[in-house]
Structure 1
Amino acid sequence: MHRIVVLGAGYTGMSAASHLVGRTRRRDDVRITVVNASARFTERLRLHQVASGQELAELNIPDLLPDVDLVCGWVTAVDVDARAVRVDDERVVEYDTLVYALGSVTDTSSVPGADEHAYTLDHAESLAHRLSGMDSGTVVVCGSGLTGVEAAAEIAEQHPGLDVVLLGREEPGAGMGPKAKAHLHDTLGRLGVRVHSGDIGKVLPDAVRLVGGETIAADVVLWTSGVRVPRLARELEADERGRIVTDPALRSVSHPDVYVVGDAAAVRLGFGVLHGTCQSGMPTGVHAAVSIVRELNGKAPKPFRFGYYHTPVSLGRHDAVVQFTKPDGAPRRLSLTGRRAVWYKETVSSSPWPTFRRMTRMPRSGAIWPHGGRYTR
């Protein structure tokens, strides 16, 4: 019996697990185990909606993967020499092949006070509870990347009595073309979001202090600036950001029985290292599953190939912008705004779960992903 263990059941881990089920359902020599913190699937694409107080549908992992062994618990260590995973309740899960899909968490360690005084989308429910008790006040969203933009717009729309400030080093929509960027800024202005530029030096209990000394008063601070990858397997070679370095087939360069996918992987392609998004993460999960089955059949895995396709950004529930991109992520001239962009973004956000279900029933060698990019086996 070949034991395949998938660590993490986010978008990437579920892509790997569901595709493994589809590829091995006629085999009796494979056992698949998924280790995840809970039996519920977290829609990270929608955490900004949760933070603003909206309720999402309940999606349960066992409903999709009834024949897979699900171990609920936090992974505390991975012993790659013993091929064993340790869970917080002292259980040990052994494997022959490991899919490392534990992803990343918001990095609150880079700026003093962020860990003590700021909320993150990793705990979106707590932020929603705090905002629900506020009729007025200032919410400062730290980080002007796309996660910060979506969160600021959602909070401003759902809580019009609050003053929302989007604070970061870069201009919001910096990687977009002129049309998409202009629409993004116009919509933030219409929603009442104030954009402020600056380097954050410290988060205080009631304010955010910039490096130059300027202070912005804040009743609530949401931190969306940067992510980090927890180091649970020190033996696996990693880069300066903690991401595990992979070979072209997405295997750890130091331990080829470990496939690393999603945010946890440092995957180098012709245009550079993949940045952590659902758009690139799901194809890495599928590629790992296909490669594992190839190895079970005595074949060598093929190199991973991928190109970006789009950058869809929600701006509340009634507006959005979609910037189509070149394979390396650079903006094309084409973009969508307004109602068409809302429909497009909603389709993207809703697509993973039905996609996982199709994978368990109808495996394919390649796909055009709703999240963008063409994955080629």
Structure 2
Amino acid sequence: MSPHIVVLGAGYSGLVAAKLLAAESGVRVTLVNAGDRFTERVRLHQLAAGETLRDLPLRDLLAGTGVELVLARVTAIDTGARAVRLAGDLPDLSYDTLVYALGSGADLDAVPGAAEHAHAVAAPDQAGRLRARMAEAATVAVVGGGLTGIESAAELAEAHPGVKVRLVTGGVLGEGLSRRGRGHVRRVFARLGVEVREHAEVAEVRADGLVLQDDEHLAADTVVWTTGFRVQDLAREAGIAVDERGRVRVDATLRSVSHPDVYGAGDAAAVRGPGGRELRMACATGIPTGQTAARAIAARLAGREARPLRFRFFNQCVSLGRHDALVQFVRADDTPREAVLTGRLAALYKEGIVRGTIIAMRHPAVPSSL
């Protein structure tokens, strides 16, 4: 009987892995996802600001591939029985090889009140709720000075010029950017009227704003939480080796270090790149790790040696509204160079890269980076 490969999650990693496996291994492949649409997660800040995103049905993206799509929420993994349990009345799915690519979500449990009072942009429903809220917002506090926070603050400020937008971060704005990169972000924020509050640790989120560690209150009728991501506990609960954040521990071929019939990819896996440095959670790492896992499985099924992940960072692309952006060029290990591209040309560059991810979803063998 032909081996059965089950892929959990149809994000950037899972969709690429499922399609590549079907094309390169010729075995039965089942893709499990809770929703029936592919989510352009890198555009969710645009959705929150009011833009309509393209509709990408998974069945259209899978047409002609032979991949079976199961729309269901995964509730448990039984590694002993090699079975995936699904919500509702759906039967268990047996597997010979499992690809764990369930991604990550916003960490709304980081401080008291965030889950109750803060909005996030890590999923379409979250971005949709923020979009609806912006019709009534007067003062918005975006928590998090990383790339997601920067993009969200700029997008909201540009789309809603009458709304006061403040970015609050426990560190420095754009800490992973170069001096020139940070300087450009600050200039754009000044033009858009975004106030920046650095070295401000949030202790609590309330309906009327933020409470900082020193008990200072920052008033805001809308709070956007962009700091920190978390993964599901399914792998940990299944006894699969995970790191302190719950991500599957994998070797250089993306194979679980504890369960050789399990592979991890994307945000749900703890992957190391150049120099042993942990790869950040991003679309830029999600696609190549999905490709590597699929090709490693296909190689082993064919009796060949699996090749390790070969990956290097090239740039970080940060949108700053619809007409400006920052392309931060980086070294192989993701540390910033001083070289940057800014302005309208950078915005066009970023848009091209983002569109390229959809090309990768349609043609998963095509290399892609973000």
Q: TM-score range by the shorter chain?
A: over 0.9
Deviation of 1:336 (Å): 0.3
> CA-to-partner distance for each residue in 1:76-133, whole Å, 9 max, x for gaps?
1111111111111142111111110001111111211111111111310011011123
1:171 corresponding residue in structure 2: 172
Letter in 1 for 2:225: W
The TM-score, its normalising length taken from structure 1, stands at 0.93
- The 3-state SS of whatever aligns with 1:336 is strand
Aligned residue number for residue 11 of structure 2: 10
Counterpart position of 1:58: 55
CA–CA distance in 1 between the matches of 2:144 and 2:223?
11
For the Cα contact (< 8 Å) 1:199–1:210, is it kept in 2? yes
Measure how far apart 1:370 and its partner are: 3.4
Give the match's secondary structure for 2:363.
helix
Given that residues 249 and 304 in structure 1 are in contact (C-alpha distance below 8 angstroms), is that contact kept between their aligned partners in structure 2?
yes
CA distance in 2, matches of 1:22, 1:347: 26
Q: 1:262–1:282: 8 Å Cα contact kept in structure 2?
A: yes
Match for residue 374 of structure 1?
A: none
Question: Is residue 271 of structure 2 the alignment partner of residue 276 of structure 1?
Answer: no
CA contact (8 A) 1:19 1:289 kept: yes
Letter in 2 for 1:131: M
Q: Which amino acid aligns with 2:55?
A: E
Give the letter for the 2:157 counterpart: A
SS for the counterpart of 2:300 is: helix
Contact 1:140 1:218 survives alignment (8 Å): yes
Stretch deviating more after TM superposition (99-108 or 349-358) = 349-358
* Residue 23 (structure 1) aligns with: 24
**CA-CA distance at 1:302 after TM superposition:** 2.0
Residue identity (%): 47
- Per the TM alignment, residue 205 of structure 1 is displaced from its structure 2 partner at its CA by 1.2
Q: Does 1:114 align with 2:125?
A: no
SS of the equivalent of 1:89 reads: coil
Q: Could you list the per-position Cα deviations for residues 133-161 of structure 1 after superposition, in whole angstroms to 9, with x for gaps in the alignment?
A: 34xx1011111111011001000011111
Deviation at 1:72, TM superposition (A): 0.7
1:338 and 2:337 matched: no
Which stretch of structure 1 is more off in the superposition, 331-340 or 312-321? 331-340
Contact 1:53 1:132 in 2 (8 A): no
Aligned equivalent of 2:265: 261
Cα deviation digits, residues 295-314 of structure 1 (max 9, x gap): 11012312222111101000
Give 2:41's aligned residue: 44
Unaligned runs of 5+ in 1: 372-377
Counterpart check, 1:243 vs 2:244: no
The CA deviation string for residues 223-261 of structure 1, in whole angstroms up to 9 with x for no partner, is 111011111132101111111111121111110111100
Matches within 5 A, 1:111-190: 111-121=111-121, 122=123, 123-134=126-137, 137-190=138-191
Question: For the residues of structure 2 that align with 1:271 and 1:317, how far apart are their CA atoms?
Answer: 36
User: 1:160 is paired with a residue of what secondary structure?
Assistant: coil
Please give the residue correspondences for 1:178-257 in structure 2 after superposition, counting only pairs within 5 Å.
Answer: 178-197=179-198, 198-233=200-235, 234=237, 235-257=239-261
- Counterpart Cα distance in 2 of 1:88 and 1:191: 45
1:70 deviation in Å? 0.6
Contact map agreement 2:189 2:195 (CA 8 A) in 1: yes
1:289-368 aligned within 5 A: 289-359=294-364, 363=365, 367=367
Q: Please tell me whether the aligned partners of residues 7 and 13 of structure 1 are also in contact (alpha carbons under 8 angstroms).
A: yes
Please tell me the root mean square deviation across aligned C-alpha atoms, in Å: 1.3
Aligned residues: 359
> What is the identity, as a one-letter code, of the residue corresponding to 2:208?
D
Tell me the equivalent position of 1:375.
none
Secondary structure class of the residue paired with 2:234: coil
Give per-residue Cα distances to partners, 1:183-234, cap 9 Å, x unaligned: 1110011111110120001001111000011110010111111011111132
Distance (whole Å) between structure 1 residues aligned to residue 52 and residue 256 of structure 2: 38
8 Å Cα contact 2:145/2:175 also seen in 1: no
Contact 1:144 1:166 in 2 (8 A): yes
Structure 2 gap segments, 5+ residues each: none
8 Å contact kept, 2:157–2:194: yes
Question: For 2:15 and 2:334, how far apart are their aligned partners in 1?
Answer: 24
Contact 1:245–1:267 under 8 Å retained in 2: yes
Amino acid across the alignment from 2:243? D
Larger mean CA deviation between 150-159 and 9-18 belongs to 9-18
Counterpart of 2:59, as a letter, is P
